[in-house]
Amino acid sequence: MKYIDPHIHMVSRTTDDYRRMAQAGCVAITEPAFWAGFDRCSVDGFRDYYRQLTDTEPKRAAQYGIQHHCWLCINPKEAEDTGFAKEVMSIIPDFLDRPNVLGIGEIGLNKNSKNELAVLEAHLELASQRNQLVLVHTPHLEDKHKGTRLILDAVNNAGLNPDRVLIDHVEEHTVGLVLDRGFWAGMTLYPDTKCTPQRAVDILEQWGTDRIWMNSAGDWGDSDPLAVPKARMEMKRRRHSTDMIEKVTFANPVSFLGRSPNFRVEA
């Protein structure tokens, strides 16, 4: 059965991860721009990263029959210096017309600071002007609930249609805020410190399967590029229907991502 991992940072993964993902049924991925584990010191550092996301990575994925798409932004961890963030943002429009770009992301908040919020608002304005889809990172741990509330207000204030915005890394205390306001929700599966496949399936049992997907957010840290197929096994183990598994891990991503003309997947 085919699946989509709609949030994975393949620039940080090896080629055999692509192979194993393809073997497990992965046919498409989307890769949001994120923090490299250190703060970059120049606009050109980001320009090279955007080239990697829009040129190199799609070719690497294609070798394994995986369609690669990406999202562009300066992530919230590097947004505390608003002057630098705005310089980086000024080159994003140069890349928005590349054929694998789906929109702006993963923008959002990290420590819920005023500067992070200002940079988030600037990205939302860019998304609105360029009619782009939006993928939003919510903060981790104690900062998630407050950050999610601030983010939902900022998106509403920017006048974006919630049906074109996905709020990622939802957990038990934020999923309701996101779905009740008409947004799409992403659950990120982590090996230990955050949401496990078991808890993600618990959330589906409580909230249903409309406007929600699952991703691995695999990156350079502790993470699992096969987290989505593992969550599918967890759903199967609990005797959830094949239709439900297919909806959450394939049809829902196709439905949301298909709002961008650049999204491509084999039917």
Partner 1 sequence: MVSMSHKPHCPMSPTDVVDAYFLENRAKVLDLAAFLDRLERSGGDGSDFRIACLREAIAILTDGDGDRARRIQLLLSDPSSEPIAAAPMQGAFGAPNPDLAP
Q: Which residues bind Zn ion (CB under 5 A)?
A: 34, 217
Judged by CB, which is closer to partner 1: 41, or 141? 141
Judged by CB, which is closer to partner 1: 202, or 264? 202
Q: How far is the CB of 254 from Zn ion (least distance, A)?
A: 20
Q: Hey, how many other C-beta atoms are within 10 angstroms of the C-beta on 16? A: 10
Residues 73/108, Cβ–Cβ less than 8 Å: no
Residues 235/199, Cβ–Cβ less than 8 Å: no
Judged by CB, which is closer to partner 1: 12, or 112? 112
Q: Which does 144 bind (CB under 5 to 8 A by kind): partner 1, Zn ion, none?
A: partner 1
Judged by CB, which is closer to Zn ion: 34, or 84? 34
Q: How many residues does the chain have?
A: 267
Q: Which does 68 bind (CB under 5 to 8 A by kind): Zn ion, partner 1, none?
A: none
Q: How far is the CB of 217 from Zn ion (least distance, A)?
A: 5
Q: How far is the CB of 70 from Zn ion (least distance, A)?
A: 12
Give the whole-angstrom CA distance, residue 245 versus residue 184.
17
Residue 141 neighbours by CB under 8 Å, 6+ apart: 194
Instruction: Give SS3 for 53.
Output: helix
Q: How far is the CB of 166 from partner 1 (least distance, A)?
A: 18
Interface residue list for partner 1 (CB under 8 A): 77, 80, 110-117, 139-146, 149-150, 171-173, 176, 179, 198-199, 202, 205-208, 210, 237-240
Give the whole-angstrom CA distance, residue 141 versus residue 197.
17
Residues forming a β-bridge with 153: none
